[in-house]
Amino acid sequence: MTPPVRVVSLVPSLTEAVATSAPGALIGATDWCTHPADLDVVRVGGTKNPGTDRILSLAPDLVIANEEENRAPDLAALREAGCEVLVTEVRDVPQAFRELDRVLDACGVTTRPRWLDEAEDTWSSLPPPATRLTAVVPVWRRPWMVLGRDTFAGDVLARLGVGHVYAAHPDRYPRVPLEELRAAAPDVVVLPDEPYRFTADDGLEAFPGLPCALVSGRHLTWYGPSLAEAPRVLGRALRAARP
């Protein structure tokens, strides 16, 4: 019997996908890898500042990363030390499914998991949106940063009938003054709980008079098992903001 691939994941959503689909393969993950809730592996630091020495001490067969979430110098250091590093690029929903297939194949998964089929079926069978809304989607404050062009989260929202105001901005995550965000007068302000943890007490007060939707960052930005329920969870939060 071929021994399982020893995997370190530097991407929270991929951590959940591998842990769910290849039990026993995952030996290390970042401090931000919160799913599955009972995940019991060695923690190797943050997505932006992983401990390369700690990763190397685990002797992984494969490190999985993402071109947006992880820094190129860290990945280069791992490669120079002899690690195989698989780097994903996810800019839209179809690409997420292709990259998940590639990651799971590299982790030794021989049968496509049911959750992945269900998630792909869910997204491919979405009905056309009955209405279309405009949105501002902050991802950080101090300074304020929002979704710009060519992002996975932006594509997720677009498929749910929400076009964000800065989708054509030259930057992927532009810094925009709060006054400009308010002046854009979107139909809804979408406030996820990650990477910045927007809450009812930290975010809504910045947009008086505008409908605001507090949404799950995991369902908006993660590409893994949460994809199957993302349209339902996000749709409910968006509808609640505009009763």
- Identity of residue 57: S
222: DSSP letter: -
Neighbours of 84 (CB within 10 A): 13
What string of H, E and C letters represents the secondary structure of 87-118? EECCCCHHHHHHHHHHHHHHCCCCCCCHHHHH
Q: Does residue 1 surpass a pLDDT of 80?
A: no
Q: Does residue 102 surpass a pLDDT of 70?
A: yes
- pLDDT, tens digit, 9 for 90 and up, residues 104-160: 999 999 999 999 999 999 999 999 988 899 999 999 999 999 999 999 999 999 999
d(CA 202, CA 191): 10
Q: Does residue 243 surpass a pLDDT of 80?
A: no
Strands (E), the chain: 7-9, 26-29, 42-43, 62-66, 85-88, 133-136, 138-140, 145-146, 162-164, 188-192, 212-215
Pull the structure tokens for residue 73: 């110098």
- pLDDT, tens digit, 9 for 90 and up, residues 43-65: 999 999 999 999 999 999 999 99
Q: What is the mean pLDDT of residues 77-85?
A: 96
